Amino acid sequence: MKPASVADYRELARRRLPPMFFEYIDGGSYAEVTLRRNVADLEAIALRQRVMRDMTNLDLSVDVFGQKMSMPLGLSPVGMAGMYARRGETQAARAAAEVGVPFCLSTVSVCSIEEVAATGVAPWFQLYMLKDRGYMRALLERAKAAGCPVLVFTVDLPLPGARYRDVRSGFTGATALSGALNTAWQGVTHPEWSWDVYMNGKPHTLGNVQSAVTEGRRVNDFLSWIGRNFDRSVTWADLDFVRQVWDGPIVIKGVLDPEDAKDAVRAGAQGIVVSNHGGRQLDGVRSSISALPAVVDAVGGELEVFMDGGVRSGLDVLKALSLGAKACFVGRAWAYALGAGGQPMIEKMLGTMRSELSTAMVLTGCSSVERADKLLLDVAT
């Protein structure tokens, strides 16, 4: 199949990846209501087509925290990307740099901060509040030393959501023996992945927390350590601890409620990501796009507002910009592309989304992404 859309990259990834890793990317929590809402609510928004306007010159670029982005789109943090393609986070970082958009590295990445930064462009770095403050401080110091320009502080994960697909696929809940046998069988039945990742993509550890984990060396052992270290006691006051180490921009990821957005302003954050963790945490909450307008109104331009969740095309990006987002971030879209074929596929996917965004701008009469507003939307629908 020659991929033409994010749905095509998804299908290619489904064919190539062992089921446990595809389902980990693709699935959401519980009955996946919010996962579906993220996509459906974006699809339900109608753009307002306009004609007879000079669209010779288009400007898709946007400035964020001193970084010029070629388009208002970045790569969200995705856990364990190094299990979808050989040293996957480094491939994603190179793809993002080639296209001119930011890449955000997950705490639970296979490749370490240092390995990804060695590609030549330091990533944004995503961090959770961990019980082990000493190790958290060390991670912040490592990110700072590597030159990471932005800290994305994810706050919607005081504990992991229950994801039924991961149990069904054998990714979680299995004994050590049955888990090993399941992984081996899935690897054997997916030889291309086995050669690329299992044989040539080692080590299969989570590079950013490797030194903290002593009880086993499987990926699931590292994930278990992370799960045990999520801190349910975290409050906005804990940002003071982060500020002791980190003096760059802080973006709070996982905000859906306007009151939480106001708290982020009061806490001194420079940005927020309107997000429900891709429908992977509390199922049944509203979609990111439906939460976006109220959050934008609540912060009143006092910080940058980004959005992720359900973005599958450049048209979706324009819809989010029209409702007040500065830029969008995509997670599953680039994870599918990585699983489908690595860096070249991510670059191709980003090129497709850029083309879709350009077309949508021309046909709505919007010559610059900076001028996108609600007038681009057909409110009659």
Residues carrying an active site annotation:
277
Residue by residue, what is the 3-state secondary structure of the chain? CCCCCHHHHHHHHHHHCCHHHHHHHHCCCCCCHHHHHHHHHHHHCCECCCCCCCCCCCECCEEECCEEECCCEEECCCCCHHHCCCCHHHHHHHHHHHHCCCEEECCCCCCCHHHHHCCCCCCEEEEECECCHHHHHHHHHHHHHCCCCCEEEECCCCCCCCCHHHHHHCCCCCCHHHHHHHHHHHHHCCHHHHHHHHHCCCCCCCCCCHHHCCCCCCHHHHHHHHHHHECCCCCHHHHHHHHHHCCCCEEEEEECCHHHHHHHHHCCCCEEEECCHHHCCCCCCCCHHHHHHHHHHHHCCCCEEEEECCCCCHHHHHHHHHCCCCEEEECHHHHHHHHHHCHHHHHHHHHHHHHHHHHHHHHHCCCEHHHCCHHHECCCC
